[in-house]
């Protein structure tokens, strides 16, 4: 049995009396959900680190051993962005003693090295401040062992005297010397 369609008046009455729910909205994408949290975390931690911490850790590699002994990065001062360079800033460098002219002379090279490490043109100029450097504990160089004394050398040569191959004999002598010196026997101790 066919059902007839309602008339216009019946349709209006049905629509006025029947309340339908709207279809639920689709949830926002994960990117939109996480983005505010990431932005707030980035702002929070960006205030604590201006990039100079990364520089301090790798400063001897960036500046070179000689310059790293006489200067150290203090902070990166961000300046107002310009149309030409929106991120360019100033690196404040603490210099010990009267080495400021040397650092000033090396400034273009140092800026290039820092920008290469940080990526892009982050630093535009150096600000040199004289003052004492913070003490960094560098590992003391290992003392070189003294060579074997004459009696130890003779005893070692006697041990490998019956080896026919010259190259192998020399390698064994070198190995024996290294072992004896490492164990402290080459420094006069017995």
Per-residue confidence (pLDDT) for residue 50, from 0 to 100: 60
- Stated as kind and residue range, the H or E segment containing 40 is helix 30-46
DSSP one-letter string for 138-189: PPPPPPPPPPPPHHHHHHHHHHTTT---HHHHHHHHHHHHHHHHHTTGGGT-
* Residue 140 or residue 119, greater confidence: 119
Residue 54 vs residue 49, higher pLDDT: 54
pLDDT reading at 1 higher than 70: no
C-alpha span between 26 and 17 (Å, rounded): 28
Give me the sign of the Cα torsion angle 84, 85, 91, 92: positive
pLDDT of 137-164, one tens digit each? 666 677 777 778 899 999 999 999 999 9
Q: Which of 70, 125, 76, 67 is nearest to 95 (CA)?
A: 70
Q: Where are the domains of the chain?
A: 52-130, 150-187
Please report the pLDDT score of residue 155 as a whole number: 92
CATH 3.30.300 for domain 52-130, yes or no, is yes
Round the average pLDDT of the chain to a whole number and report it. 83
Report which secondary-structure segment, H or E, holds 93: strand 89-95
For 69, the enclosing helix (H) or strand (E) is helix 65-70
């Amino acid at each position: 049995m066919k059902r007839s369609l309602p008339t216009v008046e019946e349709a209006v009455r049905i629509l006025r009396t029947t309340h339908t729910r709207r279809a639920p909205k689709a949830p926002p994408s994960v990117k939109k959900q996480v983005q505010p949290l990431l932005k707030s975390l980035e702002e929070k931690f960006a205030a604590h680190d201006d990039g100079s911490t990364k520089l301090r850790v790798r400063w001897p590699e960036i500046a070179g051993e000689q310059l790293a002994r006489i200067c150290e990065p203090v902070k990166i001062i961000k300046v107002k962005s310009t149309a030409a360079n929106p991120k360019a800033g100033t690196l404040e460098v603490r210099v010990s003693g009267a080495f400021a002219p040397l650092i000033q002379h090396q400034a273009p090279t140092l800026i290039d090295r820092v920008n290469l490490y940080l990526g892009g043109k982050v630093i535009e100029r150096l600000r040199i401040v004289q003052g004492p450097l913070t003490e960094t504990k560098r590992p003391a160089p290992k003392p070189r062992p003294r060579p074997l004394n004459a009696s130890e050398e003779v005893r070692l040569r006697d041990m490998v005297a019956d080896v026919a191959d010259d190259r192998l004999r020399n390698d064994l002598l070198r190995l024996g010397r290294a072992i004896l010196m490492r164990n402290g026997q080459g420094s006069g101790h017995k």
